Amino acid sequence: MDVHIDSKAVELYSSRAYVVGITGASGSVYGVRLIEVLLKFGITVHIVISNAGWRVIKEELGWNTTNREALLAEKFGSYAGTYRYHPVADIGASIASGSFRVDGMIIMPCSMGTLSSIAHGSSENLMTRAADVMMKESRTLVLVPRETPLHAIHLENMLTLARLGVRMIPAMPAFYFGPKRMDDLINFLVGKVLDSLNIDHRLFTRWGDTGGQQGEQNPHRTN
């Protein structure tokens, strides 16, 4: 990953903590890239991956998921930020309680099944419980749904959550900035999530912005 984060940005954001969930929707690379970028900012990341999410990671990324904790240590253990992995069945984990403080949660990608459970207040596992905590504590919850086509129930569930203040960022990359490789499209979507978290970055070139390069960032840039 060729995303440069300088020391000033790490100082600016290192006190933050987020939960990142990865479900069984296609697009696990989005969630992995988000974790990488947050950790490069020095941010603490609490990771929750559903059973279907692990299967998709294995199939889409080709990772050996037999020893999950060892795999995460290999992939994420060398960044400026720290991470903690929570098994999705561990309903007693710290992030299941509103008294445990984090700045927000992002589920990327978010399956329609998980989105439906959240919309209907179902806390059947740690993923949906943590999302429910974000809503009841009025903290930031960002969902990145990845499904197509969408039927009426999908859309109604999204509308229900949007009316509750949940931020919906569909996995719809743009092309106005002239992407030249798959990484550019991935970084665009991750950058839109960072925008929703008020984290300044240079993951993509903004409309009308001719300064800087993709993959760079300026922690003091005014949008």
User: What is the per-residue pLDDT for 117?
Assistant: 98
To the question of whether residue 24 is assigned a binding role by annotation, the answer is yes
To the question of whether residue 180 is assigned a binding role by annotation, the answer is no
To the question of whether residue 176 is assigned a binding role by annotation, the answer is yes
To the question of whether residue 1 is assigned a binding role by annotation, the answer is no
To the question of whether residue 99 is assigned a binding role by annotation, the answer is no
Q: Report how far residue 35's alpha carbon sits from residue 44's, in angstroms, rounded to the nearest whole number.
A: 10
To the question of whether residue 33 is assigned a binding role by annotation, the answer is no
User: What is the per-residue pLDDT for 8?
Assistant: 84
User: What is the per-residue pLDDT for 80?
Assistant: 82
Q: Is 77 helix (H, G, I), strand (E, B) or coil?
A: coil
Q: Judge whether residue 64 has pLDDT over 90.
A: yes
Contact in structure between 189 and 30 (CB atoms under 8 Å): yes
User: What is the per-residue pLDDT for 36?
Assistant: 97
Q: Per-residue pLDDT tens for 154-188?
A: 999 999 999 999 999 999 999 999 999 999 999 99
Average of pLDDT values for 49-73?
Answer: 98
Q: Report how far residue 216's alpha carbon sits from residue 4's, in angstroms, rounded to the nearest whole number.
A: 5
Tokens read off for 187: 């970084």
Model-level pTM? Answer: 0.91
DSSP annotation of 79: S
Tell me the residue type at 155.
L
User: What is the per-residue pLDDT for 212?
Assistant: 45
To the question of whether residue 111 is assigned a binding role by annotation, the answer is yes
To the question of whether residue 26 is assigned a binding role by annotation, the answer is yes
CA-based nearest residue to 105, from 69, 56, 141: 141
Residues 6 or more apart in contact with residue 128 via CB below 8 angstroms: 114, 117, 118, 122
What's the CA angle centered on 77, arms 75 and 78, to 5 degrees?
100
Q: Which domains does the chain have, with CATH numbers?
A: 7-196 (3.40.50.1950)
Average of pLDDT values for 109-128?
Answer: 98
Contact in structure between 125 and 88 (CB atoms under 8 Å): yes
To the question of whether residue 138 is assigned a binding role by annotation, the answer is no
DSSP annotation of 205: P
Tokens read off for 205: 């070139």
Contact in structure between 132 and 91 (CB atoms under 8 Å): no
User: What is the per-residue pLDDT for 222?
Assistant: 36
Among 112-116, 146-150, 217-221, name the one with the lowest average pLDDT.
Answer: 217-221
Is the preceding omega at residue 173 within 30 degrees of 0, hence cis? no
Transcribe 54-69 into DSSP letters: HHHHHHHH----SSHH
Q: Judge whether residue 114 has pLDDT over 90.
A: yes
104: left (phi over 0), alpha (psi -120 to 50) or beta: left
Between 68-76 and 28-40, two packed helices, what is the crossing angle to 10 degrees?
50
User: What is the per-residue pLDDT for 7?
Assistant: 79
